[in-house]
Amino acid sequence: MIETWRWFGPDDPVTLAHVRQTGATGVVTALHHVNQGQAWPEAEVLKRKAEIEAAGLTWDVVESIAVPEVIKTRQGNVTAAIDRYRASLRAVGRAGIKTVCYNFMAITDWTRTDLNYRTATGAFALRFDAVSLAVYDLFVLGRPNADADYTAAQIAAAEVRFGELSADDIATLERNLIEWLPAREFVYDRARFRDMLDVYRGIPVEQLRENLFAFLRAVLPVAEEEGVRMCIHPDDPAFPIFGLPRVMTSAADVRQLFAAMPSTANGLTLCTGSFGSNRANDLVAMAREFAPRVYFAHLRNTTHEADGSFHEADHLGGDTDVIGVVATLLTEEARRRAASDPAGAIPFRPDHGRLMMNDIGMRVNPGYSGIGRMRGLAELRGVIKTIEALGRGCLTTAAHGSVQAA
């Protein structure tokens, strides 16, 4: 597997020099300064690629060429938006970057209520608090008919919590939910967010799914021509929020996607954290079933809480068997080598990470601090090296505790 690192460009507090020090060899990034639906100029792609290579790294994955809302809703000048997306695909493909991660989430990207949840160790993690979401949805946003999406107990808990929050608390919650993301290509205030929710109220989940298929029917031929593999990222969290339709939350969703679009250019970003936010998902089973179409992996973990909340755990902690997922992906890589499958090695990145040690109090993109991700990468590297060694049959542990050749 190829060790990569999410980098948000020249303004990222974690520099390319830092990335090199982690031991990662590849970079996952985008043209964040040209990411509001414009076509990416090939010259800009090559300039960014040269910057990365000058640091001794390779640009392995584009994450992401943003899919504009006009494409998701099919409202507006869809043809022009598709043409710009095709042009961006051609630019990255011709620059030699052959893996493109994207998502098809309505309005939102990954959503958390708390960006600085203090853990038992004193480090900080990202958290999704189901009660806080209900507070915002019911009593701040005032989404019409939102109460139908919550139980009586959830509504009662949210009403109590709302009474305990200060104006500053509510402002922070709103910023976390609708305004903030690193390098986000869109920013909403409350009024614009309500307007977009109104748009999606008329788009049921099967219509959004068909809009996804229509998008892929339009862009996959270009991806095929340029040798680019498209990798859809799951919805995060992998269950409905704000009454919005979700089309990538489960194995059933992935099956529908691959059945509708069998092209090998149509692949999956296996995000263990996003899919793992839904208790019903078995990540090892999903890795096994979809392995031939997994072209990119985000490896992280989540711990579920009784009320539907969850927080991000250590990479090898939490409720997802990340070691089992890694073992499955390594088996798939071995199959690809034996079959001379052009999909080749799978790039992965340690996704998110605890805010810890010297990074606390420093300027960071929440979820993307340096030390926490470096810890995650080191843990994952250890897992990979151990599985590879055991797979070669080169290690046995004798009764006296020494390691001998098998």
256-271 pLDDT per residue, tens: 999 999 999 999 999 9
Instruction: Report DSSP state, residue 355.
Output: B
For residue 257, what pLDDT is reported? 98
- CATH number of domain containing 25: 3.20.20.150
Whether residue 170 lies inside any domain: the answer is no
pLDDT at 307 over 60: yes
The interaxial angle of helices 42-54 and 78-94, nearest 10 deg, is: 40
Total Cβ atoms within 10 A of residue 304 = 17
Query: Which amino acids are annotated catalytic?
Result: 233, 271, 298, 351-352, 368
Domain count, the chain: 1
Percent helix, strand and coil across the chain, each to the nearest 5:
45, 15, 35
For residue 396, what pLDDT is reported? 39
SS3 85: helix
The mean-pLDDT minimum among 106-120, 175-189, 202-216, 338-352 falls in 175-189
SS3 304: strand
Residue by residue, DSSP assigns 118-175 as E-TTS-EEEEE-HHHHHHIIIIII--TTGGGGS-HHHHHHHHHHHHH--HHHHHHHHI
Q: Which residues of 143-164 are buried (b: 16+ CB within 10 A; e: fewer)?
A: beebeebbeeebbebbeebbee
**Which residues are paired to 26 by β-bridges?**
4, 58
Whether residue 144 lies inside any domain: the answer is no
For residue 188, what pLDDT is reported? 85
Whether residue 195 lies inside any domain: the answer is no
Residue range 325-344: average pLDDT? 96
For residue 132, what pLDDT is reported? 97
Average confidence score pLDDT of the chain: 93
Residue range 116-137: average pLDDT? 96
Whether the CB-CB separation of 309 and 323 falls below 8 Å is answered with no
Whether residue 158 lies inside any domain: the answer is no
Whether residue 89 lies inside any domain: the answer is yes
For residue 343, what pLDDT is reported? 92
Place of tokens 């993307």: 368
Residue range 163-177: average pLDDT? 96
Global pTM reads 0.93
The angle formed by the CA atoms of residues 250, 236 and 104, to the nearest 5 degrees, is: 80
The domain of 305 spans 2-110+203-404
Whether the CB-CB separation of 134 and 158 falls below 8 Å is answered with yes
The interaxial angle of helices 205-226 and 251-260, nearest 10 deg, is: 50
Whether residue 76 lies inside any domain: the answer is yes
pLDDT at 184 over 70: no
**Which residues are paired to 267 by β-bridges?**
231
The interaxial angle of helices 283-290 and 322-339, nearest 10 deg, is: 10
- Report the amino acid identity of residue 154: Q
Whether the CB-CB separation of 377 and 24 falls below 8 Å is answered with yes
Whether residue 304 lies inside any domain: the answer is yes
Strand 99-103 and strand 26-29: pairing? unpaired
Whether residue 55 lies inside any domain: the answer is yes
Element of type H or E holding 84: helix 78-94
CA 117/CA 311 separation, integer angstroms = 8
